[in-house]
């Protein structure tokens, strides 16, 4: 490690016990391993995964082991390097790929590390970024131009990259696309699809606040199945809004009813991109809804490392996509629990935490 002068302690939002909740605590600065760097976190964004871990649902209770610091979407400055890392990296402004791959399995050796079965996830399997400092392997750094992307937008690159991959898996230019689910990733998707030349983007969600953001991000038409006036007839609305010609469905909600709707709504020979994760198994009519419709299904998780990041950079630095309207709150680390409450109650979109801005 370099001789960079650091404090010995820091604040971090940690899950102390294998139970719901988290606590803001003071802990030692992370040790920097030989192949790692230490980042002073300038901005970190809360993700749906963090909500699952906070609430300690069935997935998180089977995957995450306390104690652990939460968070995996971030941007900051390198302040120290491990013994095997070039110390000239100190001062670099970076974001991070949250999936740390093994580098030695068949997927990694085949240049498809995003499918590495040994992936370790920041904030899930090792300490995350809801802290003043974080230590990560140098290989996951994504060098970012501070003059083009400020820390808040830079911290969104990892999440935005997931939407880039899901939205551009099939060329949307000139196509009619339906986005089902307007959480942050779905909202990212709408903006990406419009920037990529989709002729029409229609969107559904049960939250009016999110639907207003969907329109702001470029959706041509939106629908709330939970509205009394609409009586939940999503499929009928999708057919009407698209004139029975949805080329691509991007399913972002993970809701079982929405996944079923995706297959019924897409046209014959169309494409369904599945990104939202359902809470339980979903029963699908394979014959009528898949085979006889000749549809193509692509299930996606995460980003292609680092191909997707290059596409992300181009969309954001060029100004083709502006994520600022989706940042609803910016809070210091000591108000992080307030941020989780806002998200749980559907009163926020992307919330940025600034750990070093007390």
Q: What CATH number corresponds to the domain at position 259?
A: 3.40.50.720
Res 221: pLDDT: 97
Mean pLDDT of 214-243: 91
Are 25 and 137 found together in one domain?
A: yes
Q: Is residue 133 part of a domain?
A: yes
Per the annotation, the verdict on 329 as an active-site residue is no
Mean pLDDT of 191-206: 98
Q: Is residue 309 part of a domain?
A: no
Res 232: pLDDT: 67
Q: Is the pLDDT of residue 225 over 80?
A: yes
Q: Is the pLDDT of residue 3 over 90?
A: no
Are 143 and 25 found together in one domain?
A: yes
Alpha helices in the chain (DSSP H): 48-55, 58-63, 106-109, 151-155, 157-167, 184-195, 208-216, 234-242, 256-265, 307-317, 336-344
Q: Is the pLDDT of residue 229 over 90?
A: no
% of the chain residues with pLDDT over 70: 97
Per the annotation, the verdict on 52 as an active-site residue is yes
pTM, two decimal places: 0.94
% of the chain residues with pLDDT over 90: 92
Cα torsion 204, 207, 209, 210: sign: negative
Are 50 and 174 found together in one domain?
A: no
Give the CA radius of gyration of the chain.
Answer: 21
Q: Answer with the one of 284, 299, 314 that is the final residue of a domain.
A: 299
Res 279: pLDDT: 85
Active-site residue (options: 49, 176, 206, 261): 49
**Domain count along the chain:** 2
Are 288 and 348 found together in one domain?
A: no
Mean pLDDT of 233-261: 96
Give the range among 40-44, 119-123, 254-258, 300-304 with minimum mean pLDDT: 300-304
Mean pLDDT of 289-301: 96
Mean pLDDT of 247-260: 97
Res 5: pLDDT: 78
Contacts of 334 (CB under 8 A, 6+ apart): 11, 24, 358
How many other C-beta atoms lie within 10 A of the C-beta of residue 126?
A: 17
| Cα gap 127→170, rounded to integer Å | 35
Q: Is the pLDDT of residue 2 over 60?
A: no
Residue appearing with tokens 């709330």: 224
Are 291 and 328 found together in one domain?
A: no
Are 181 and 197 found together in one domain?
A: yes
Contacts of 293 (CB under 8 A, 6+ apart): 263, 266, 268, 269, 270
Res 358: pLDDT: 67
Q: Is residue 59 part of a domain?
A: yes
Mean pLDDT of 56-63: 92
Q: How far is CA 255 from the centre of its chain?
A: 17
Q: Is residue 31 part of a domain?
A: yes
Are 126 and 188 found together in one domain?
A: no
Query: What are the structure tokens assigned to 284, written together?
Result: 């699908």
How do residues 89-122 score in pLDDT, each as one tens digit?
999 999 999 999 999 999 999 999 999 999 999 9
How do residues 28-47 score in pLDDT, each as one tens digit?
999 999 999 999 999 999 99
Sheet holding 246-251, edge to edge: 221-223, 200-204, 176-180, 246-251, 266-274, 296-299
Tell me the helix, strand and coil percentages in the chain, rounded to 5: 30, 25, 40
Query: Whole domain around residue 167: which residue ranges?
Result: 162-299
Res 289: pLDDT: 96
Active-site residue (options: 52, 72, 99, 114): 52
Res 4: pLDDT: 58
Are 75 and 176 found together in one domain?
A: no
Q: Is the pLDDT of residue 161 over 60?
A: yes
| Cα gap 250→259, rounded to integer Å | 10
Confidence of residue 1 (pLDDT cuts 50, 70, 90): very low
Return the CATH number at 97.
Answer: 3.90.180.10
Res 214: pLDDT: 98
Q: Is residue 69 part of a domain?
A: yes
Are 175 and 288 found together in one domain?
A: yes
Q: What angle do CA 208, 53, 51 make, to 5 degrees?
A: 15
């Amino acid at each position: 490690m370099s001789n960079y002068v650091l404090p010995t302690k820091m604040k971090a939002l940690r899950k102390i016990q294998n139970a719901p909740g988290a606590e803001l605590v003071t802990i030692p600065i992370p040790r920097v391993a030989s192949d790692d760097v230490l980042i002073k976190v300038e901005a970190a964004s809360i993700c749906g995964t963090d909500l699952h871990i906070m609430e300690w649902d069935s997935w998180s209770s089977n995957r995450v082991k306390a104690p652990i610091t939460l968070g995996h979407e971030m941007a900051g400055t390198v302040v120290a390097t491990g013994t095997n890392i070039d110390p000239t990296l100190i001062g670099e402004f970076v974001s991070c790929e949250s999936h740390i791959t093994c580098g030695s399995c068949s997927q990694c050796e085949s240049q498809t590390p995003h499918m590495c079965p040994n992936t370790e996830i920041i904030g899930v399997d090792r300490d995350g970024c809801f802290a003043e400092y974080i230590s990560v392997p140098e290989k996951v750094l994504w060098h970012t131009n501070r003059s083009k992307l400020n820390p808040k937008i830079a911290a969104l690159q990892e999440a935005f990259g997931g939407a880039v991959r899901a939205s551009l898996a099939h060329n949307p230019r000139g196509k009619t696309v339906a986005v089902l689910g307007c959480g942050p990733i779905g909202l990212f998707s709408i903006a990406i699809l419009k920037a990529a030349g989709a002729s029409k983007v229609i969107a559904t969600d049960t939250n009016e606040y999110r639907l207003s953001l969907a329109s702001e991000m470029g959706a041509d038409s939106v629908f709330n199945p939970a509205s009394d006036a609409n009586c939940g007839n999503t499929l009928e609305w999708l057919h009407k809004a698209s004139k029975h010609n949805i080329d691509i469905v991007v399913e972002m909600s993970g809701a079982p009813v929405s996944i079923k709707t995706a297959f019924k709504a897409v046209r014959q020979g169309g494409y369904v991109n599945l990104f939202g994760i359902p809470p339980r198994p979903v029963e699908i009519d394979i014959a009528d809804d898949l085979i006889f419709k000749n549809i193509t299904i692509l299930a996606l998780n995460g980003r292609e490392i680092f191909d997707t990041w290059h596409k992300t950079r181009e969309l954001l630095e060029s100004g083709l996509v502006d994520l600022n309207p989706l940042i609803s709150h910016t809070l210091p680390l000591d108000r992080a629990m307030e941020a989780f409450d806002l998200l749980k109650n559907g009163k926020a979109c992307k919330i940025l935490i600034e750990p070093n801005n007390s």
